[in-house]
Amino acid sequence: TIQRECMKLTKYCANGNDFLIYNAIASGDLEYYDKLAVKLCARHSGIGADGLVIVQTTKGQESTTPKPAYQWLFFNQDGSRASMCGNASRCVGHFAYTQDIAPLHHTFLSDKGIIEITIDTQNNDIVESSLGKCEFLNEVKEESIWGNDWYLLDSGVPHLICFSNDNALPTSKDNAFLAHLRQKYNANVNVAFANDKENVSYITFERGVEDITGACGTGACAVGALGVKLGILNPHIKATPPSKEMLQVRIDSKYHTFLQGRVSVIALCEAL
């Protein structure tokens, strides 16, 4: 059963995404993380967050150089497990540094593999995550008011993306259609508009939240990678999500993605 003694968590926000982080290295392992995520992330009956991050010691990575400083388990708001979350990776990197778990530059182990973290030495609220190579999976046709050409990519988690011809991005009134695509392709759904070659606005209808979220880091990276491949965007872009808190995305020649932005500690929480 879930432990009933007081559980200490740190609440972070990164560009409109909020997360609860629990240090299982210091406090010992808990069971039933999925149920715990549902309970703690609930907006009204819990603390409220887009996801729950459990920080653990690494296991079975002795041969990896450099050895990851820790590993994480990431759970969405609905208790489902996710292999990666770009904005959460930046939050957990900052958390690990401030908790003396890891230095300014370090790696950690996710379900998707090794994630590299770099914290700005002049301003440690600025964190960059190297999320690995973005994979282009498929091109599909789906009739929509934004366009009929959609692309399926994997930037740590799968994303279905359409570049719109105008800047009228989806809102909550479009949730039924976005939810249909989300379920059909088992992917986050993104619609983006390139303001110019260096600036893009985008929305993400996110798995596990089942709504348009304030921001999505892997979504920003997937949009950036696709924009570069289609010749719509440059390799260095500014991506603006619904929160209006801009993310910087960098794509290298092999479509490795780098996500940078500010993170902030919102609260220290105690849950029963």
CA distance 47 to 182: 26
Q: Could you give the C-alpha distances from 270 to 78, 135, 165, in angstroms and in order?
A: 21, 40, 47
**Residue 216 appears among annotated catalytic residues:** yes
Q: Which of 13, 41, 162, 216 is catalytic?
A: 216
Q: Could you give the C-alpha distances from 26 to 7, 57, 99, 112, 213, in angstroms and in order?
A: 11, 10, 10, 24, 31
The answer to whether the Cα torsion of 160, 166, 167, 173 is positive or negative is negative
Q: Is the bond leading into 158 cis (omega within 30 degrees of zero)?
A: no
The answer to whether the Cα torsion of 181, 185, 187, 192 is positive or negative is negative
CA distance 241 to 14: 11
Q: Which of 13, 41, 85, 162 is catalytic?
A: 85
**Residue 13 appears among annotated catalytic residues:** no
Residues annotated as catalytic are 85, 216
